[in-house]
Structure 1
């Protein structure tokens, strides 16, 4: 499917608002970005760039925000319709926020989020 930037951002905002409060409470200095596609890994759906909370010694003052990047085209490529795209965005947000909390891909896989 295809979706333009504005409609995708609205979808991301809706799905972020629908996340469990215990997952997003306490997120600190994290920004969400949308890009078309990761040039190095074109099928990558999202990525967390930053230090997870388990690695943040002396972190905080004047630091640039950590980033969660969602890749619009890659997510749209694996989605047949808007309902499926919403589900994939939701899962990707949970996955990347979990990295912020210090969970690695093996742990996420065990929990069914990878």
Structure 2
């Protein structure tokens, strides 16, 4: 039996996005209120330039990335900048899902909350606490 038989067809980008949006919808109101302008993108994998900038050799080693400035570093004089973006990389998420056996919704929630944590400038401990707050 190959991996696809064991798991069924791999979820497409819209399914991953739905899981991420569900995690975002479960955030406490104080966090959700500051995410309105953040763009959520689900891409197949990180591009070569992004991987090189991060010193990552293989695209399956990057499940998500936050592009932007944390809220605490923003200024009222900021203008003309691209909106903050959260990138989720479908192929890397699916590879980790198969490799670890973690439920897909839990994995997507983890990656999404981690990237949201960067938007807020949270520590890893704070990210874990936020993730626990939105868990089922």
TM class, shorter-chain normalised? Answer: 0.7 to 0.9
Residue by residue over 1:49-87, the C-alpha shift from the partner in whole angstroms, topping out at 9 and shown as x without a partner, is: 001111112255443210010111101111139971111
Alignment size in residue pairs: 109
Query: Given the two structures, how large is their TM-score scaled by the length of structure 2?
Result: 0.66
Q: Which has the higher helix share?
A: 2
8 A contact 1:48–1:69 mirrored in 2: yes
Query: Relative contact order (alpha carbons < 8 A, sep ≥ 6): 1 or 2 greater?
Result: 1
Shift of residue 14, structure 1, vs aligned partner: 2.4
The offset of 1:99, in angstroms, is 0.8
| Deviates most, 79-88 or 27-36 | 79-88
1:52–1:28: structure 2 CA closer, same or farther, 3 Å change rule? Answer: farther
Given that 1:29 and 1:64 are in contact with CA atoms closer than 8 Å, whether structure 2 keeps it comes out as: no
Runs (5+) with no aligned partner, structure 1: none
Match of 2:31 among 20, 23, 31: 23
Question: Is 1:69 the equivalent of 2:87?
Answer: yes
Cα deviations across residues 22-53 of structure 1 (Å, max 9, x unaligned)? 33222252111111111324111111100111
Normalising by structure 1, report the TM-score: 0.77
Larger Rg computed on CA atoms: 2
Please say if residues 114 and 127 of structure 2, whose CA atoms lie closer than 8 Å, have aligned partners that are also in contact.
no
